[in-house]
Amino acid sequence: MEVTKTVVLKLKKPDKGIRKTMEKYTEGMNFASNVVYEYGEPLSANKLQKLTYKHLRENIGLLSQMSCNVARQVSGAYKSLQEQIEKGKAEWKQIEFEPTNIKFSYRRDYKINQEKLSITTLDGRKEYEIINYSYAKQYFSDEWKYLASELVEHRDGEYYFHLSCEREVEEKPMEEASNFMGIDVGINYLAVCTTTDKNQAFFGKGMAKDLRKTYKKMRERLKTKGTFSALKRLKALSGKEKRLMKQHNHKVSKEIVEYAKEQNVDVIGMEDLTNIRDNTEVRKRDRYCHESWSFKQLQKYIEYKAKERGIRVKYVDPEDTSKTCSRCGHINRNNRRGLDFKCQSCGYELHADLNGARNIEHRVKDFRHDLESQGSCQPPDVDANETTSA
């Protein structure tokens, strides 16, 4: 399986040549965008290149490879727009590009090592020093293959190279998997994990509640003031809150995948949260926190970190995972009361989030058995001395 990674590297001393190249590149993007818009439907990169190449080279002054990259990038943007249109989420429109990024092809117009980035600009080939982040060293080895990458101007006004790379990772076939881990995400604990071997771990206790409630109070206080400075601070506060949430999700996802690796997990199972806000029952006092925390972001972080370690990820149907007894399979909404789960049929008790994680583990394991035998496996026996909520 191929794993793709984007490594963000800051340029130490960018010059005016980068800004000039970026502005001309964007001019070319908007010209090509107008061609597609007037055509009335997405164009393939090859067809768009044929229609725009001469103008990009002679009138705008882009170099040969830049002109090819413009066609590919604009074509991709309109294909994405078309996908949104087909889902009923957008209408046909002309895409306007801002001078904030340039696409480069590896070897043709960029080369890179741990210290320097060499890129093609309108002033010729130039080298720029990059900040040597310790975490990035692992990506400068022969096992990584470099792909088309972007130079991006961030909101802080600094330039960063978004290095895209990929490598092969060995992954056990689903049919051969034997150790599974179910992950239940939520507001009391960001994640509760349990494996086929009944090992379990709780991550991020109270993180979601504490962060969201703190910022909710601050927002309400600023909204009450209604002054210009309060509204300005409110906007800055929103950005800070999102950054903190992202940091929490990164930290917890890393811990979860490290735990999965320690437990020799072959497949991680998680709920498909596509319609989580519509289909999940949450107490009124917790509703804001539940709806505003990015659980899907946490899952995506877990997914790509797991794939980097050769662990498969399978999403399962979330229906009734919180109401189903992980021992006998009985479904009843009264089985769960807050953090406590007590089966109304067999009397089995344990932490409610752990029960949900076990049901997820069962479902991904059942999927594996279905592949192997076209049947379904029975829920495993449960030890009598299992964990209950504190």
Q: Are strands 180-185 and 267-271 parallel, antiparallel or unpaired?
A: parallel
Which pair of tokens denotes residue 124?
Answer: 């010729």
Contact 335, 321 (CB under 8 A): no
Q: Domain spanning 174-373: which CATH class is it, in words?
A: alpha beta
Q: Alpha-carbon distance 8 to 381, whole Å?
A: 47
| pTM for this model (two decimals) | 0.72
Domains of the chain, by residue range, sit at 2-168, 174-373
pLDDT (tens digit per residue) in 329-349: 999 999 999 899 999 999 999
In the 8-state DSSP scheme, what is residue 339?
T
Give ∠ CA 339-285-245 in degrees, rounded to 5. Answer: 80
Q: Alpha-carbon distance 51 to 62, whole Å?
A: 15
Q: Alpha-carbon distance 183 to 303, whole Å?
A: 11
- The reported pLDDT for the residue numbered 37 is 98
- The reported pLDDT for the residue numbered 379 is 41
Q: Alpha-carbon distance 68 to 102, whole Å?
A: 12
Q: What is the residue type of 17? A: G
- The reported pLDDT for the residue numbered 369 is 80
Q: Alpha-carbon distance 349 to 153, whole Å?
A: 54
Q: What is the pLDDT along the chain (390 residues), one digit of tens a residue?
A: 888 999 999 999 999 999 999 999 999 999 999 999 999 999 999 999 999 999 999 999 999 999 999 999 999 999 999 999 999 999 999 999 999 999 999 999 999 999 999 999 999 999 999 998 888 999 999 999 999 999 999 989 999 999 999 999 888 888 889 999 999 998 889 999 999 999 999 999 877 777 777 777 777 777 777 777 767 777 777 777 788 888 999 999 999 999 999 999 999 999 998 866 544 555 554 454 445 568 899 999 999 999 999 999 999 999 999 999 999 999 999 999 989 999 999 999 999 999 999 999 999 999 888 776 654 444 444 444 444 443
Contact 49, 61 (CB under 8 A): no
Other beta carbons less than 10 A from residue 22's beta carbon: 21
Q: What is the residue type of 138? A: Q
